[in-house]
Amino acid sequence: MNAARPNVADDVLAIATRLRGTIEHPELRDEVQSVVERLQGPLRVAIAGRVKAGKSTLLNALVGERLAPTDAGECTKLVTVYQHGLGYEVTAHLRGGTSRPLPFRRANGSLDVDLAGLTEPDVDHLTVGWPSSSLHAITLIDTPGLASVNDENSRRTRTFLEPDADRAGAADAVVYLMRHAHRSDISFLDAFMDRSVAAASPVNAVAVLSRADEIGAGRLDAMSSAARIAQRYATDPQLGALCATVVPLSGLIAETGLTLREDEAAALRTLASTDAEMLDRMLLSADQFCDVSASTLTAEWRRDLLDRLGVFGLRLSLDMVRSGRATTAAELGPALVEHSGLPALRRELDTRFAPRARLLQARSAIQALRVIARRLEITDPASAAVLDRDLERTEAGTLEFAMLRAEHLLRVTDLGFGDDQARQLGLLVTAPDPRTALGLEAQTPWPTVRDVALTSISRWRTRAADPLAQPAAVEVCEAATRRAESIFATAAGAGS
């Protein structure tokens, strides 16, 4: 099935390329061009969530460099797309559709962009081109925090990410950050994501329990408490309908681990040599930690370390230094990353998003081309009709889309299937391997696979024909039937 996936994106790319050659409207041609570019580029993943959830810090951790400003007083005001570039460049994309390069410099480790006379309302979004290998396979979008409905920064994020009649959503997948303290995050997530099946859903959204190190006042067991809480969230049906999983993460520890300098490790070693009882007292509060008389390390250094690591990160680092497990930046950095939860988040991104990247891209490209078709209808109804027909044909003819939608429906709605049937359907519409999809062992011979596929076709076709079944259940059973048919064809073609 994986082998068949690139075809979908290639089909959509062919439609977009054809359209680009024939379309006369210059503005629409530019939009088609950007659809083509998106399909040829990497997956676009937006990092979203409430104000100060730790979005920019996570972005830096994923890139492995301090790019996005994250100071406590600073907030992200403009949507910023970080993409792989051959050189370093920042471009402002203005509301009117034009763009212009902006001057920038590296300040305190992060990027300081000069709007060069522009004001924030002039700018639709910024793009930052950066020669980072982390951005090869993924383009990351940092977004202003969602605050209130009337908030201008939130509006920018919503306009950029949420698809509507005038504009397609700009991301193929979403990482949504939520803090433990904000129980209302779930309703935020709901309002933000539940627009349509074509937008974010469990098939392309992962939630992160962010700033996990702050849980339980930064005690050394903070991350395991966070893991338990994340697990609880993940079983919440409301949340399960919106995203695939909940990963506990300390973006700060990850970012610092990836960028830790030797002089910082040396400062940690000096701090670790402080009398143990005194050190425990110091770590009770930020004020006590920075109290001038408390250590031979200067108060400035202590403040810097506190900013870079937080209380949990300091406790963890000092524990590692004192026990001798890690004492240099080269040892402490990776150990911090390991504790931060970043490897688990990367695994989620690699297993959930990466294998279906082309499909998710095709999905958002179709959405973008639909928006273009509606606008084209006004000046060139004949071309709009051809475009609609091509998109319809691609979407309906693509088994992967049917399965993606079936997976979504199975996750978000109770369709009245028993546990066993729901599990069988789940496997059929998600497992790439034909045998796994049918619940068979890896070595099952092809003739058996064929027979089981046949039984499966008959079972799900009968269920799909049930006149009393809800439409969504029919759709899922039809997708399952199509998958079983495709497995049957593979098994029949494979001989014995």
Ligand X SMILES: Nc1nc2c(ncn2[C@@H]2O[C@H](COP(=O)(O)OP(=O)(O)OP(=O)(O)O)[C@@H](O)[C@H]2O)c(=O)[nH]1
Residues that bind Mg ion (CB under 5 A): 55-56, 76
Residue 204 contact partner, candidates Mg ion, ligand X, none, CB within 5 to 8 A by sort of partner? none
Residue 208 makes CB contacts below 8 A (sequence gap 6+) with 49, 58, 175, 176, 177, 178, 246, 247, 248, 249, 345
Indicate which of ligand X, Mg ion, none lies near residue 424 (CB less than 5 to 8 Å, by partner kind): none
Q: Decide if residue 65 touches ligand X (CB under 6 A).
A: no
- Number of amino acids touching ligand X (CB under 6 A): 21
User: What residues contact 360, with CB distance under 8 A and at least 6 apart?
Assistant: 43, 172, 173, 203, 204, 353
Question: Which listed residue (11, 162, 172, 214) binds ligand X by CB under 6 A?
Answer: 214
**Ranges within 293-312 binding ligand X (CB under 6 A):** 310
Q: How far is the CB of 56 from Mg ion (least distance, A)?
A: 3
From 45-53, 163-171, 360-368, 444-452, give the range in contact with ligand X by CB under 6 A: 45-53
Residue of the chain from 75, 94, 113, 464 that contacts ligand X (CB under 6 A): 75
* Residue 214 touches which member of ligand X, Mg ion, none, C-beta under 5-8 Å by kind: ligand X
Nearer to ligand X, 175 or 484 (CB): 175
456 binds, among ligand X, Mg ion, none (CB under 5 to 8 A by kind): none
76 touches ligand X (CB under 6 A): yes
3-state per-residue secondary structure call for the chain = CHHHHHHHHHHHHHHHHHHHHHCCCHHHHHHHHHHHHHHHCCEEEEEEEECCCCHHHHHHHHHCCCCCCCCCCCCCCCCEEEEECCCCEEEEEECCCCEEEECEEEECCEEEECCCCCCHHHEEEEEEEECCHHHCCEEEEECCCECCCCCHHHHHHHHHHCCCCCCCCCCCEEEEEEECCCCCHHHHHHHHHCCCCCCCCCCCEEEEEECHHHCCCCCCCHHHHHHHHHHHHHCCHHHHCCCCCEEECCHHHHHHHHHCCHHHHHHHHHHHCCCHHHHHHHCCCHHHHHCHHHCCCCHHHHHHHHHHHHHHHHHHHHHHHHHCCCCCHHHHHHHHHHHHCHHHHHHHHHHHHHHHHHHHHHHHHHHHHHHHHHHHHHHCHHHHHHHHHHHHHHHHHCHHHHHHHHHHHHHHCCCCCCHHHHHHHHHHHHCCCHHHHCCCCCCCCHHHHHHHHHHHHHHHHHHHCCCCCCHHHHHHHHHHHHHHHHHHHHHHHCCC
Phi-psi region of 109 (alpha: psi -120 to 50; beta: other; left: phi over 0): left
Q: Which is nearer to ligand X, 257 or 310 (CB)?
A: 310
**Which residue sits closest to Mg ion, CB atoms considered?**
76
Q: In angstroms, what is the minimal distance from the CB of 310 to ligand X?
A: 3
Smallest gap, in angstroms, from Cβ of residue 251 to Mg ion? Answer: 11
* Minimum separation from the CB atom of position 141 to ligand X (A): 12
Least separation, in Å, of the C-beta of 94 and Mg ion?
A: 21
Shortest Å distance, C-beta 176 to ligand X: 11
Widest CA span in the chain: 80
Q: Given the complex with ligand X, which of 72 and 396 has the nearer CB atom?
A: 72
C-beta of 75: minimal distance to ligand X in Å? Answer: 3
Least separation, in Å, of the C-beta of 94 and ligand X? Answer: 21
**Between 112 and 164, whose beta carbon lies closer to Mg ion?**
112
Smaller CB separation from Mg ion, 342 or 371:
342
> Considering beta carbons, is residue 51 or 384 the nearer one to Mg ion?
51
Q: Which residue is nearest to ligand X (CB)?
A: 145
435 binds ligand X (CB under 6 A): no
Of residues 140 through 159, those in contact with ligand X by CB under 6 A are 144-145
Nearer to ligand X, 51 or 474 (CB): 51
Q: Which of 7, 51, 259, 304 binds ligand X (CB under 6 A)?
A: 51
Residue closer to ligand X by CB (options 250, 383) is: 250
Of the candidates 393, 361, 399, the one whose C-alpha atom is nearest the C-alpha of residue 490 is 399
**Closer by beta carbon to ligand X, 223 or else 403:** 223
Position 11 contacts ligand X (CB under 6 A) = no
Is residue 53 part of the contact set for ligand X (CB under 6 A)?
Answer: yes
Residue choice 8, 45, 54, 92 for contact with ligand X (CB under 6 A): 54
Q: Taking the complex as a whole, how short is the minimal distance between the CB of residue 145 and ligand X, in angstroms?
A: 3
Instruction: Please state, in angstroms and rounded to a whole number, the distance separating the CA atoms of residues 246 and 292.
Output: 40
Q: Is residue 80 at the binding interface for ligand X, with CB under 6 A as the rule?
A: no
Q: Is 72 in the site for ligand X (CB under 6 A)?
A: yes
**Sign of the CA dihedral with 414 first, then 415, 420, and 422 last:** negative
How far apart are CB 399 and ligand X at their closest, in Å?
38
Q: Which positions lie near ligand X, rule CB under 6 A?
A: 51-57, 70, 72, 75-76, 144-145, 210-211, 213-214, 250-252, 310
